[in-house]
Amino acid sequence: MLMEGVISDKDEIAPTYINLENPKYIEVDNLYYGGLIVANYYREQTDILLKTLIETNINMNLSIFYEKQDSYKTIKDLTYHIGNVGVELKETNQNRQDIDIVAFAYNDAKYIRREIQVNNEDIYFLYIYINAYAESIKELEYHLNKIEGITQSKGMQTRRANFRQEEVFMGCLPLAENLEVIKGVAKRNMLTTGLIATYPFISSTIFDDEGVFIGTNIYNNSLVFIDRYNTSKYKNANICIFGTSGAGKSFYTKLLIVRYKLLGIRQYIIDPEREYEKLCKRLKGTHIKIGPNSNTFINILDIRKESIEEGESGYLATKIGKLIGFFNLVFGELNEEEKALIEEKLIETYGTKKITFSDDSLYKKNDEKILGREFKTSKDMPLLEDLYHNLGKDKKTKRFQTKLIPFVKGSMKFFNHCTNIEMDNDLIIADVYDLGEENLKYGMYLFTDIFWDKIKENREEKKAIYLDEIWRLIGVTSNKEVASFIYKIFKTIRKYGGSSVAITQDISDIFSLEDGIYGKSILNNSSIKTFFALEEENIKILSEFTNLSEKEKIEIKSLKRGECLMFVGESHILIKIECSEAEKEILEGDKNEENNNGN
């Protein structure tokens, strides 16, 4: 039996063994440590000294010590030195080989004295120690050589800490212990302004406490966790995901869906390319497909109870506003007179079902008494066919009736049915692929409207809506009413506890409507911007609407598959998207299934 207090905290953190026999390295618990001392620097530095070193993935500990000196004593010593050297320069033979060095020292002393006296600068002694570590001596030697090359390129001269490995090792531990025996080699005087060049916190890291794992920082291999719903840190939870085909944006989007599904967050995805069907099946989500061959229907004229929040009013007025946007897609850009005519016919159409601007008309009644405030169902709503007939009764709207023929009697008559879908799942995929290229925008707008109503149901619940190929709704093929509706979602979804995600590979198209005002607004209203590899033309367009640096433009162009430049709040960081084998199996399992089916 062990007595209480025999094992201390020190015993818990102490290594099993330390081997100090070799002067070139020390060994601690099967790891080899090699130290470097920064002994000298270029006279003038215009860049951050340690940036390149910190951004490498070399395993190392870096320690920087600053010792503030007594300004009064420094001035006194400098004045004495300046006087002596000045006399020596006047009297000494100008042909001496070291005369230039003496002159430099003289001018440096005068400069330092002036900065301290006139500009209130302080003087410090600077010490920098680097301790690399590896699992083998060969790997350690490789790391040390690489560090020496990097430091030399940044104007720093280093010395191997042979026979002083233990002292450098101690100096790089979080003990703030700068031993006298190595200080003489590392010491270098520096003014306050010069210390800026040694600033070590230059590599962006994002590690939110309750964040979802995204990947690793390409520069320093640190883990990236982002909690996009953290309202105290980010102004909203919106995300933009841009990238060329094959760059990795779809994989990343699916990865987000999987991870947030595990957290129980409601997610609604609009899928114009049928990319999420099998993922939906694996995650046991609800897959809604509309099209000529589908048995699921949605009535565009439905008024849903959740379309306005509790305590608010104006069901019919709100619905008409959304329908004007939809009919702008169907009929083309409507002028104010045409909008008024369409609105008049919509009011008449709802009137045939006894639905008026009074919200009570949306509740079922019996003998003029409301029975439990039961909201009317889709079967109680008018259909497009009812509007179609009303449009035909008036010569002024006859032309609009003609344009509705495909939706009532033709290839898109599946829009002319009562809604027969359930939306209680926490993952819903809206598949509009069967609508065809020309008609995708109708289905996308329809589902966006439905999902927006679902998002507004409960402000306390976290949820997200994913708009894949968003350019179809805010680009030149859309119209101002629809684009304004999408912009409204990005601008206001935060107050409903939601996150909107814009995904596209067509950068030029999202900025094609109204001189890019809607694309720019959505970009500006997204706290997280993710850029996968892009073509040069798209990078040029994107740079007009974002604060991309010249370096970042080059980086986006050369990103590999699965790598991205991410703007998270004020931080700009290069990230490699990472996933576990289990997640990869979920996301790419369909490929294995296809191979098995092929066999």
Interval 171-209: pLDDT, tens: 999 888 999 999 999 999 889 888 888 887 666 678 898
More confident residue, 54 or 63: 63
- Average pLDDT over all residues of the chain: 89
Interval 105-134: pLDDT, tens: 788 888 888 888 888 899 999 999 999 999
Place of tokens 């607004």: 521
The identity of residue 354, as a single letter, is K
User: Average pLDDT for residues 562-574, to the nearest whole number?
Assistant: 91
DSSP 162: T
pLDDT band at 269 (very low <50, low <70, confident <90, very high): very high
Name which of 497, 425, 491 is nearest 459 in CA terms: 497
CA distance readout (Å), 312 to 120, 308, 317, 377, 494: 63, 6, 12, 20, 19
- Could you tell me which CATH class the domain 297-420 is placed in? mainly alpha
pLDDT at position 1 is 47
pLDDT at position 367 is 47
- Asked whether residue 426 carries a pLDDT value surpassing 90, the answer given is yes
Q: Are the C-beta atoms of 531 and 556 separated by less than 8 Å?
A: yes
User: Average pLDDT for residues 532-546, to the nearest whole number?
Assistant: 91
Could you tell me the residue ranges of all domains in the chain? 20-69+122-198, 236-296+421-527+581-599, 297-420
Distance CA 488, CA 492 (A): 6
pLDDT at position 5 is 58
Residue 34 sits at the vertex; the CA angle it makes with 29 and 36, to the nearest 5 degrees, is 150
- Asked whether residue 97 carries a pLDDT value surpassing 80, the answer given is no
Right CATH number for 236-296+421-527+581-599 from 3.40.50.300, 3.40.640.10, 3.40.50.880, 1.10.3660.10? 3.40.50.300
Strands 427-431 and 286-289: parallel
More confident residue, 47 or 531: 531
Structure tokens at 361: 């008309």
Q: Are the C-beta atoms of 320 and 341 separated by less than 8 Å?
A: no
Window from 38-52, 316-330, 480-494 with minimum mean pLDDT: 38-52
Interval 290-301: pLDDT, tens: 998 888 999 999
